[in-house]
Structure formats: C-alpha cells, structure tokens
Amino acid sequence: MELPAGPVLFDMDGVLVDSETYWNRFESEWVFETAVTAGSPAHAEVTGMPFREIYDYLDSEYGTTVTKPAFLAKYEERAETLYADDVTLTPGTQALFDDLREAGRAVGIVSSSPRAWIDTVRERFELDPLDLVVSADDIDAPGKPEPDIYEYAAAELGVTPAECIVVEDSQNGIAAAVRAGAFTVAYRSTHNTELDLSQADTVVDTPDALCALLCG
C-alpha cells in the first residue's frame, strides 16, 4: 500500500488517548439519560463532534431538557479530571512520533476538543514538539464530520489534504478526513469495536499495526 509522503495528522480522543471510553460513559449516564428529551441516541452519532455542536445536534434530533450553557458546563466539568487524571496514552505513541519525525514527516494533532483539553494531554504525556495543533476552536466553520478542520490543517502546513495521512477512530472524524481528500487510517480500539469503519482507506487495530503502517 502506497501512502502519501506528507504530514501525519492524528485525532486525539480515541486515538492518542483512551478518552472515548470515559466520554461514552458520561454520555450514557448523563447526556442520553438526563439531557435528552426522548429517543435513544447512539454514541457514534456524536463521537468526534465538537462538544458545542453535540448540543445543537441532540437538540435538533431528540430535544433537550437543559440549556446549552448548562450542557456545556457539564462537559467542561467532566473534562477537567478526564484529561488530567483518567485517560492513558495509547501505548507506543511517543515512540511513533519520534520515528515519524526521524523519517522527516510533520506530525500534528487535529481534534474537535478545545485547545485547553489538547494542551493538557500534550503536557501530561510530553508529546511536543509538534508541527501543528488544530482545535475546533481555531476554525470558524462546522466541525467534524465536515472537512473544514482538515482542509485548514493542511493549508497551515502548506500542503493539500491529499498529501496528508489522517488517523481517526470515529465515523464523524473519518468522514471529515475522507471528504477533505486525505488518506484516512481508521484506528479500531475497545470503544469502537462494533463500528463500520470501512469508509477509511485502511483499518488498523493495534498500536503496533499503526506503527508498522506509518513507519514500515
């Protein structure tokens, strides 16, 4: 399989750290149980979206029982300990970043999370230096599954999306990367074992397989 020779852009949640396990639990216990008026949303519907847009989506599709400020405040409250204490780094991430840098590739994080959450992960797990960090906060456009965030990231690096490799775990994130025209790698882990990830160009299911694909 021939991969583009350009930058490698990583989603954060569910790829670099196991945060989706905790967010899924939060959604099951509060968002879907308390904040949604009716119906049974699936985690896949909202995973990968900016959390501010999750409220708009749920309010439109299912109705909500809380105001948007109250909804966002609950997410912010949970995020404080989730990223500072709960999540763990995907095994081999730091070595993978080092190998990619040694191979001359730019390495970046492109995430729907606010920059403050990304910075907590970067600092806690010593992921710098990075060539690019893009948060949903940085673009005045819709978040994933729309392609804008990956188009913006590529432009910031002076390349086209087609020259980039994107590593994603959610259907919304994969859709964003594919729509942008990037070579898209789906990373399957414990939180997305049942999802159809076939929209991606290829699927890997272990850190070693991801490393072999990107550095092999």
Residues 163 and 114 occupy one common structural domain = yes
Q: Which of 61, 86, 111 is the last residue of a domain?
A: 86
In a domain, residue 175? The reply is yes
In a domain, residue 3? The reply is no
Q: Is the dihedral of CA 18, 21, 24, 26 positive or negative?
A: negative
Of the candidates 57, 52, 48, 47, the residue with the CA atom closest to the CA atom of residue 27: 47
In a domain, residue 1? The reply is no
In a domain, residue 72? The reply is yes
Q: Which residue has the tokens 């399989």?
A: 1
Residues 150 and 210 occupy one common structural domain = yes
Range of 189's domain? 8-18+87-215
DSSP codes joined into one string, 96-154: HHHHHHHTT--EEEEESS-HHHHHHHHHHHT----SEEEEGGG-SS--TTSSHHHHHHH
Residues 82 and 92 occupy one common structural domain = no
Looking up residue 133, the CATH number of its domain turns out to be 3.40.50.1000
Residues 78 and 105 occupy one common structural domain = no
Q: Which of 68, 86, 104 is the last residue of a domain?
A: 86
Residues 107 and 28 occupy one common structural domain = no
- 212 token code pair: 């072999």
DSSP codes joined into one string, 52-92: HHHHHHHHHHT-BSS-HHHHHHHHHHHHHHIIIII--BPTT
Determine how many CB atoms are found less than 10 A away from the CB of residue 24: 19
pLDDT of residue 1 exceeding 80: no
Based on the structure, what is the number of domains in the chain? 2
pTM of the model: 0.96
Residues 59 and 91 occupy one common structural domain = no
Residues 139 and 34 occupy one common structural domain = no
Write the pLDDT tens digit of every residue in 177-203. Answer: 999 999 999 999 999 999 999 999 999
Write the pLDDT tens digit of every residue in 80-102. Answer: 999 999 999 999 999 999 999 99
Phi, psi dihedrals of residue 156, rounded to the nearest 5°: -65, -30
Residues 102 and 183 occupy one common structural domain = yes
Q: Which residue has the tokens 């729309």?
A: 146
Residues 151 and 116 occupy one common structural domain = yes
Could you give the CA distance from residue 44 to residue 196 in angstroms, rounded to a whole number?
10
Task: Report pLDDT for 122.
Answer: 97
